[in-house]
A and B are shown apart, each in its own frame.
Chain A
Amino acid sequence: MYQYIVKRVLLMVPTLLGAAVFVFFLLRFIPGDICELRMVGEGGYVDESALATCRAGIGIDKSIFLQFVDFMWGFVIFDLGTSMWTGQPIGYEIGLRFELSLQVAIMATVASVLIAIPLGTLSAVKQDTWIDYVVRGFSIAGIAMPSFWLGILIILFLLIGTQAFLGEAWMPPIVYVPIWEDPGYNLSMLIWPALATGYRYSAVATRMTRSALLEVLREDYVRTARAKGLLEKIIINRHALKNSLLPVVTVVGIEFAFLMGGLVVTEQVFNLNGLGKLFVESVLNTDYTLTQALVMVVVAVFVLVNFLVDLLYAWLDPRIRYS
């Protein structure tokens, strides 16, 4: 097992490297560059020499090969340089947003797992009763509803609700403060996007739990457990659930990784300064260094989550042994 972990960690290096090469060259295919964008954006006549100065200033006049070497070197010395657009260190730019996105992703994941497993289980155990229908309705609605739309609804209801009951409309705050500095303030801001995305996410996980559990409940070993006279509660919790969690864990893992950087529209709706928003801005600005770094962060999250999911597999199912 220990060997396996070391092997997996080492194997992450080529994956990350591949992603780095890919994103680096792909970005260079986008027509135009940051200097043109900046100057044309300011309007008026653009002087060729001014452009050249600008390009030299941020280093995109160098040959592609040299730029690539710089990029790679950045990984070695753990310094990805500065954003081409803002001039701020990339570590700083990403760090600001990473915290927020991570917190939303974790809150959405925790909430959805806490909702999905009991609901999915209930729905499977009570298959084809009204309880099952209600749960299925809940999850189909969650899958059908885009989270940004739910987000808009939430904001509207907050406004209207507070106006009606408190006499004054209240909006969630929009300036991020870390949770350890002011938990109340932080949560009053981030709980809403976590809810909006977590609902959809828990809907997917609920359906997955339900169908996996229904399948497991037909297995021979569940019949054996019944024939042994065990309590239904024990049959579900001890015998069936653990066997049905593998697909649920997979879905949760993928969704979590997606939340870290894929929340573009929802972040817009809640006016959150998260990774998704930064991503869009950096691409629109052809801010090569920042986009590259962001892609690498998201790839790293995916790779890590995959690894954790595989470890969870082995823990859930003793037949899975990695070596």
Chain B
Amino acid sequence: MAKLLELEDLRTQFFTTAGTVKAVDGVSYDIEAGETVGIVGESGCGKSVSALSILRLVPDPPGKIVGGKILFMGRNLLELSDVEIRKVRGHEIAMVFQEPMTSLNPVLTIGRQITETLEQHMGIDRQEADARAVELLGMVGISDAERRLKQYPHHFSGGMRQRVMIAMALSCEPKLIIADEPTTALDVTIQAQILELMKDLTRRLGVALIIITHNLGVVARYADKVNVMYAGKIVEKGSARQIYHNPSHPYTIGLLASVPRLDHKRGTKLVPIEGQPPDLTLLDQGCAFRPRCRFAEDICTREIPPLEEVGGGQYSACWQKDKLSQPAPAAS
């Protein structure tokens, strides 16, 4: 299948008074049409910034995309003019954000917020747009659409607002939707509904989906491929199956041990990863995970491990990747 989106060595940095934050530091991955790709990692590892970089929405200043390529259907989005990138936003690539409470404009009706995108990109008039908005709300499971369209965001619950965001994202029939932690702010029961809805709609409409989360369980269930990020880099990538059942990076192993799993016997203790992610202004020439890694050896201090295949299309950036299959040494 043809590649829909290819990130090549993407680098995004923030120039702050405290120093240069290397928020995204050489990220490469790709996604095929209709595919679902997960991006997992702890908070602060650069997931959102990598997503915002795709549509060039990183606040500048202080942020800047300093290197790499973002090829979308063969075009490098980083080379488009402002007018051209605007035509990609919301039209060919749409986004769903994390905060359903603040991501919708409180002073505009839901209907207006849906129809304005349609008017912008589809060249249709208000009436057609209204009709399409009704249809879209129906698709995302909001009943009584005509009345709901006249309401404001504060009339909707968090889950309902996220449905509205999904309707908005789908409105111009994009080829790719980027969902940045779409369910993190929601109740657990609602989370599953929203994820199911997104998975179902994107599959039915053939839309590719990048789903960003800190929850490896979510990714394992809904994604085809997974990229694990740590300190601005992808440290492991592979199919959801490979990552879940055969992790080959100490960080992924740590993440898996910290989430409940159905395939482990009940009562298995959850072990959080000790320590904190590093300060992205202070990265050195060694492996960024080193201070928290139980497998670290001398070389980890000296050189950054490259992302190399461990087999079957699974990649890991770890000097000890071949020794990880042995049971991990007991934590101190």
> Hey, which bits of chain A sit against chain B, CB under 8 A?
219-221, 223-231, 234, 238-239, 242-243, 316-319
The residue in chain A whose Cβ has the minimal distance to the Cβ of B95 is: A227
Which residues of chain B are within 8 angstroms of A319 by Cβ–Cβ distance?
A: 106-107, 152, 154
Q: How many chain B residues have a CB neighbour from A under 8 Å?
A: 27
Evaluate contact between B120 and A220: CB separation under 8 angstroms.
no
Evaluate contact between B97 and A223: CB separation under 8 angstroms.
yes
Evaluate contact between B102 and A227: CB separation under 8 angstroms.
no
Which residues of chain A are within 8 angstroms of B116 by Cβ–Cβ distance?
A: 228, 230, 234, 238
Given A229-B87, A230-B120, A239-B108; A220-B154 close (CB under 8 Å) = no
Evaluate contact between A231 and B90: CB separation under 8 angstroms.
no
Which residues of chain B are within 8 angstroms of A242 by Cβ–Cβ distance?
A: 107
Which residues of chain A are within 8 angstroms of B108 by Cβ–Cβ distance?
A: 238-239
Evaluate contact between B107 and A229: CB separation under 8 angstroms.
no
CA distance A70 to B176 in the complex (A): 78
* Set B86, B104, B105: member contacting A231, Cβ < 8 A: B86
Which residues of chain A are within 8 angstroms of B99 by Cβ–Cβ distance?
A: 220
Task: Quote the shortest CB–CB distance from A223 to chain B (angstroms).
Answer: 6
Given A220-B97, A223-B97, A318-B154; A228-B107 close (CB under 8 Å) = no
Evaluate contact between B87 and A243: CB separation under 8 angstroms.
no
CA distance A225 to B117 in the complex (A): 9
> Hey, which bits of chain B sit against chain A, CB under 8 A?
55, 57, 86-91, 94-95, 97, 99, 102-108, 116-117, 120-121, 152, 154, 165, 168
Evaluate contact between B87 and A224: CB separation under 8 angstroms.
no
Most chain B beta carbons < 10 A, residue from A229, A231, A239: A229
Which residues of chain B are within 8 angstroms of A231 by Cβ–Cβ distance?
A: 86, 120
CA distance A221 to B121 in the complex (A): 19
Task: Quote the shortest CB–CB distance from A300 to chain B (angstroms).
Answer: 31
* Set A220, A230, A238, A317: member contacting B103, Cβ < 8 A: A220
Given A226-B89, A227-B89, A229-B91; A221-B106 close (CB under 8 Å) = yes
Evaluate contact between B86 and A223: CB separation under 8 angstroms.
no
Q: List 24 A-B contacts (CB under 8 A).
A: A219-B102, A221-B104, A223-B57, A224-B103, A225-B105, A227-B57, A227-B89, A227-B90, A227-B97, A228-B116, A228-B117, A228-B120, A229-B90, A229-B121, A230-B86, A230-B90, A230-B116, A230-B117, A231-B86, A239-B105, A239-B108, A242-B107, A319-B106, A319-B152
CA distance A319 to B154 in the complex (A): 7
* Set B90, B102, B104, B107: member contacting A317, Cβ < 8 A: B107
How many A-B residue pairs lie within 8 Å, measured between CB atoms?
73
Given A227-B55, A228-B168, A229-B121; A221-B88 close (CB under 8 Å) = no
Task: Quote the shortest CB–CB distance from B94 to chain A (angstroms).
Answer: 7
Task: Given contacts A226-B89, A227-B95, A229-B89, list 20 more A-B pairs with CB under 8 A.
Answer: A220-B97, A221-B102, A221-B105, A221-B106, A223-B97, A224-B104, A224-B105, A227-B57, A227-B89, A228-B89, A228-B90, A228-B116, A229-B90, A229-B120, A230-B117, A234-B116, A234-B120, A238-B116, A239-B105, A319-B152
Evaluate contact between A226 and B106: CB separation under 8 angstroms.
no
Task: Quote the shortest CB–CB distance from B173 to chain A (angstroms).
Answer: 13
Which residues of chain B are within 8 angstroms of A227 by Cβ–Cβ distance?
A: 55, 57, 89-90, 94-95, 97
The residue in chain A whose Cβ has the minimal distance to the Cβ of B88 is: A229
CA distance A242 to B117 in the complex (A): 19
CA distance A318 to B155 in the complex (A): 10
CA distance A224 to B108 in the complex (A): 13
The residue in chain B whose Cβ has the minimal distance to the Cβ of A317 is: B107
The residue in chain B whose Cβ has the minimal distance to the Cβ of A245 is: B107
Which residues of chain A are within 8 angstroms of B86 by Cβ–Cβ distance?
A: 229-231
CA distance A238 to B95 in the complex (A): 20
Which residues of chain A are within 8 angstroms of B87 by Cβ–Cβ distance?
A: 229
Which residues of chain B are within 8 angstroms of A220 by Cβ–Cβ distance?
A: 97, 99, 102-103
The residue in chain B whose Cβ has the minimal distance to the Cβ of A315 is: B107
Evaluate contact between B103 and A221: CB separation under 8 angstroms.
yes
The residue in chain B whose Cβ has the minimal distance to the Cβ of A221 is: B105
Task: Quote the shortest CB–CB distance from B81 to chain A (angstroms).
Answer: 13
Task: Quote the shortest CB–CB distance from A121 to chain B (angstroms).
Answer: 16
Which residues of chain A are within 8 angstroms of B103 by Cβ–Cβ distance?
A: 220-221, 223-224
Evaluate contact between B89 and A317: CB separation under 8 angstroms.
no
CA distance A221 to B110 in the complex (A): 12
CA distance A236 to B89 in the complex (A): 17
Most chain B beta carbons < 10 A, residue from A220, A224, A243, A316: A224
CA distance A237 to B88 in the complex (A): 22
Which residues of chain A are within 8 angstroms of B91 by Cβ–Cβ distance?
A: 229
Task: Quote the shortest CB–CB distance from B176 to chain A (angstroms).
Answer: 12
Which residues of chain A are within 8 angstroms of B90 by Cβ–Cβ distance?
A: 227-230
CA distance A224 to B100 in the complex (A): 11
Task: Quote the shortest CB–CB distance from B125 to chain A (angstroms).
Answer: 16
Which residues of chain B are within 8 angstroms of A226 by Cβ–Cβ distance?
A: 57, 89
The residue in chain A whose Cβ has the minimal distance to the Cβ of B154 is: A319
The residue in chain A whose Cβ has the minimal distance to the Cβ of B151 is: A318
CA distance A148 to B323 in the complex (A): 83
CA distance A242 to B95 in the complex (A): 24
Evaluate contact between B106 and A317: CB separation under 8 angstroms.
yes
Which residues of chain A are within 8 angstroms of B88 by Cβ–Cβ distance?
A: 229
CA distance A319 to B91 in the complex (A): 30
CA distance A63 to B190 in the complex (A): 74
Which residues of chain A are within 8 angstroms of B94 by Cβ–Cβ distance?
A: 227-228
Task: Quote the shortest CB–CB distance from A225 to chain B (angstroms).
Answer: 7
Evaluate contact between B89 and A243: CB separation under 8 angstroms.
no
CA distance A243 to B120 in the complex (A): 21
Which residues of chain A are within 8 angstroms of B57 by Cβ–Cβ distance?
A: 223, 226-227
CA distance A317 to B154 in the complex (A): 11
CA distance A305 to B203 in the complex (A): 56
